[in-house]
Amino acid sequence: MRRLGSTYANSWGATENSISLLRPERKPKPISVPSAPQTLTFDLARTAIIVIDMQNDFCHSDGWLASIGVDIAAARRPIKPLQTLLPILREHDVPVVWLNWGNRRDKLNLPPSVLHVYDPAGEDKGIGSPVGAADRKVLEDGSWNAAIVDELDVEAEDIHVSKYRMSGFWDTPLEGILRNLRVDTLLFAGVNSDQCVLSTLTDAGCLGYDCILLNDCAATTSPEFCEQATIYNVRQCYGFVATGSDLVKALRK
């Protein structure tokens, strides 16, 4: 019997004379990590990690945020823990989803409310605007600006999704991809933790996914109270907070 589907996990069995709608069974891979106030156990076999906006425009000294005077030190903080965590997750067959801004050159799917971000006076300093001596465009799909920072290795099997809002679920194929992966638990990492990470995590929680914010693998250039509020609200309303370092320790046992 052949498998019919874009992923093995979400495939039918097919022959010339029959179709089986039974999906392949997957052996659970339970793993436990510390979390407050309870230890958290989840199934690695039904888990993916979503890494959000670790892009040059946010995390590089020649990128957009740095060019408008934002201190990007915090945005670079997730790089080192992700360098350790992502290869280990791949070894355990956990899908890595890179969810990044990647805007159309004509910006036709971006409403004024999105363009207003970081450009409140309409001075052509925001998304899609030229930045730097090379006249690069902020977060434009295919540009250096929108590329993932060089310090993070991207593997051929990784999954890439471009987004156009704070949440990665609007006007993107993210939900369809996650359904085909047949995952229940989503690990969240990247920047900014109180903006695009939280917005995507909130929508994921509303869609019924089990959401875990990896606090040392996420950060924000916003004031500290924004990060504190994010952690509180994730724990209180949308999911759980753990660390990538604790997950690495558990995976190495």
- What CATH number corresponds to the domain at position 43? 3.40.50.850
Residue 57 lies in a domain: yes
Predicted confidence at residue 133, as pLDDT, reads: 65
Q: How far apart are CA 64 and CA 41, in angstroms?
A: 39
Residue 4 lies in a domain: no
Predicted confidence at residue 168, as pLDDT, reads: 98
Q: How far apart are CA 140 and CA 59, in angstroms?
A: 15
Residue 98 lies in a domain: yes
Q: How far apart are CA 127 and CA 145, in angstroms?
A: 11
Residue 146 lies in a domain: yes
Among 8, 83, 81, 95, CA closest to 47: 95
Residue 228 lies in a domain: yes
- The dihedral over CA atoms of 126, 131, 137, 142, expressed in degrees to the nearest 10, equals -120
**Segments forming the whole domain that contains residue 160:** 25-252
Domains in the chain, number = 1
Residue 10 lies in a domain: no
Residue 165 lies in a domain: yes
E strand intervals along 84-147 = 96-101, 130-131, 136-137
Which residue ranges of the chain lie beneath pLDDT 50? none
Instruction: Check: pTM over 0.85? Answer yes or no.
Output: yes
Residue 138 lies in a domain: yes
